[in-house]
Amino acid sequence: MIRRWSYVGLTAVLAIAVAIWAIPDLRERGWFAYAPDGGPSLTPPLPTLSPDLFLYPTSAQIVLLAVGIGLLVQIYSTAYLGHHPRYRSYALIIVLFLVAMIAVVGTTNLWTLLVGWEVMGVCSYLLIGHEWETAEARAGAAKAFLITRVADLGLVLAIIVIGETYGTYDLLGAAPFAGEGHHSTAIGLLVLVAVVGKSAQFPLHSWLPDAMPGPTPITALIHAATMVAAGVYLAARLFPFYADSTVVLTAMAVVAAITMLMGAVLALVQVDLKRALAWSTVSQLAFMVAAIAAGDPEAGTDHLISHGVFKALLFLGCGCLMHAVGSSALSAMGGLRRPMPVTFWTMTIGLAALAGVVPTVGFFTKDSVLHAIQHATAGDDGLAAGTAWALLAVALLTSLVTAAYATRLWLRAFFGAAAEGQDVHEAPHAMTGPLVVLAVATFALSIGQPFHLGMGVVSTLVAAAGVGIVVLAHRDGSALDWSPAPLAAELGLDRPFSRWIPAVVAPVSRLVVDLDRDAVDVYPRSSAGAAGLGSRALELVQSRNAQRYATIVAAGIVVLVVVGVVLT
């Protein structure tokens, strides 16, 4: 027990250090206000990996969110996973994960950012595959790693283009000159590729739901504090570099619109609580991307923080339910509000925040996002007015579906008849404690959030409609299980990957195998053959026959004498 808490202590030390570092930077709410600092040189310096730590108020908020949720996850894990034989490596990888996130958020050096970015990819691979005894966990981990790795190429290329364009790899040096039309479309599209992979946007979204075999606290960490947050953070951080490119913003808006609606609809039809929450994350991340596309990255990062808090709450609560009933399937749950009051009330708050109910923080940040999109419908800069209107319509529709699936999950898990033969107890304090903290934060973070009356009323009405539809359906006795075939198969969006990629990769890899066998292996094989021949020749000498040895010695002496005579 003491040993387990020592990892919590390690995380707490990290969190305190980050807090001491970051809290002074919170002074003012503000976007990444870059101050010009000399002119850009024309040739980029060599890539370096200096830490170059520097925090803007927004990055300070995100870094505090990351370590805060990391600490809560560590505390939660002592009870949830403390008896696992690999708990030690698990807890340490979480710390590494947090350090990588701090590197991504806190540095101004793009190459250091890339290193942190990749370390996060590795950590998520290791943690999703923590239960590697099961085939699903291995497959999910490999899928997450491969998809995010492919998308990371976008970031590498974006960094190179930024370096070549602005003559520096340092954001403080480059950003003041951003937005002067320097390759902004190229940079923006490359950044978008990286963000689409890391933050699980269409069409590279499918790794996130498939990462569900990972331990639930890890899911909370990845969904709330680290992995997917990094993608949105990057998009917001590099926003000045592509802000003037309509192409990029339109592409982002399209990606976000597809992803948010798809994620929400798929969350509505899931039969597994954890997977439904995963699709919900996909959808909510698309909200943040939409805000950035609408030209208000600050609204995006605000929603990132609020979503981080309530989604961590929901996943940790989901872990409590799984701990109690032994499964994440909704069919195994039901009627859990009485035996698990703490989980019930905290998850109710979390789901309310997800649905966007006043006065949770989810309402205010969603309101900011919708307001930002509405602001973009003027078509002044960035998005064309038509695109923005379409995005606004999709976002409102998504709000409706979001409220509907949040209500559905709430009703399915906590109301109705309990599954039979279960003896359910509330989770231990180490697990419910973080829930309470996060539930309080869900309200506390609302303080000082901007509020837009018109959009607030509209979004509240939309959310109420979503809730109302589901509640009415529930009253009428519906089991709230809708899964038409294409939705149950999650639209078959993995099929292109599983069909086309092998179609390309298989011939190429076969060619590589052939080359390896017939071209590269010639050298080792011929050297092996030469060694074989040589040894067979030497074997003739090693006859175990004393007379033959003596003959060789005699012949050698004769040769030496003859040579000596001839040479002298």
Partner 1 sequence: MSLLYPLVLSSALFGIGLYGVLARRNAVLMLLGVELMLNAVNLNLVAFDAWFADQLHTGQVLTLFTITLAAAEIGLGLAIVLALFRAVRTVDVDEVGR
43 binds partner 1 (CB under 8 A): no
- Residue 487 has phi, psi (to 5 degrees) of -75, -35
For partner 1, the closer of residues 512 and 561 by Cβ is 561
554 binds partner 1 (CB under 8 A): yes
For partner 1, the closer of residues 499 and 544 by Cβ is 544
Tell me which amino acid residue 398 is. Answer: T
Q: Which stretch binds partner 1 (CB under 8 A): 244-252, 399-407, 457-465, 550-558?
A: 550-558
Tell me which amino acid residue 184 is. Answer: S
DSSP 296-360: -HHHHHHHHHHHHHHHHHHHHHHHHHHHHHS--BGGG--STTTT-HHHHHHHHHHHHHHHT-TTS
Residue 329 pairs in a beta bridge with 272
For partner 1, the closer of residues 17 and 558 by Cβ is 558
Burial category of 539 from C-beta neighbours within 10 Å (exposed 0-12, middle 13-18, buried 19 and up): exposed
38: left (phi over 0), alpha (psi -120 to 50) or beta: left
Q: Which of 444, 479, 515, 550 binds partner 1 (CB under 8 A)?
A: 550
Q: Which of 545, 564, 565, 566 binds partner 1 (CB under 8 A)?
A: 545
Q: CA–CA separation, 46 vs 66, rounded Å?
A: 31
562 binds partner 1 (CB under 8 A): no
For partner 1, the closer of residues 479 and 558 by Cβ is 558
Q: Per-residue string for binding with partner 1, 5-34, x by CB under 8 A? A: ------------------------------
564 binds partner 1 (CB under 8 A): no
Number of H helices, E strands in the chain: 23, 0
Q: Which stretch binds partner 1 (CB under 8 A): 262-270, 358-366, 507-515, 549-557?
A: 549-557
C-alpha distance from residue 535 to each of 148, 443, 551, 552 (Å)? 51, 80, 21, 18
| Structural element, H or E, at residue 197 | helix 184-198
For partner 1, the closer of residues 43 and 547 by Cβ is 547
Q: Which of 150, 479, 551, 561 binds partner 1 (CB under 8 A)?
A: 551
Compute the least distance from the CB of residue 535 to partner 1, in Å. Answer: 23
Q: CA–CA separation, 501 vs 219, rounded Å?
A: 27
Q: Per-residue string for binding with partner 1, 493-532, x by CB under 8 A? A: ----------------------------------------
**Which residue, among 164, 49, 59, 63, has the nearest Cα to 109 in the 3D structure?**
49
Q: Which of 546, 565, 566, 567 binds partner 1 (CB under 8 A)?
A: 546
Compute the least distance from the CB of residue 567 to partner 1, in Å. Answer: 21
Q: Which residues bind partner 1 (CB under 8 A)?
A: 544-547, 550-551, 554
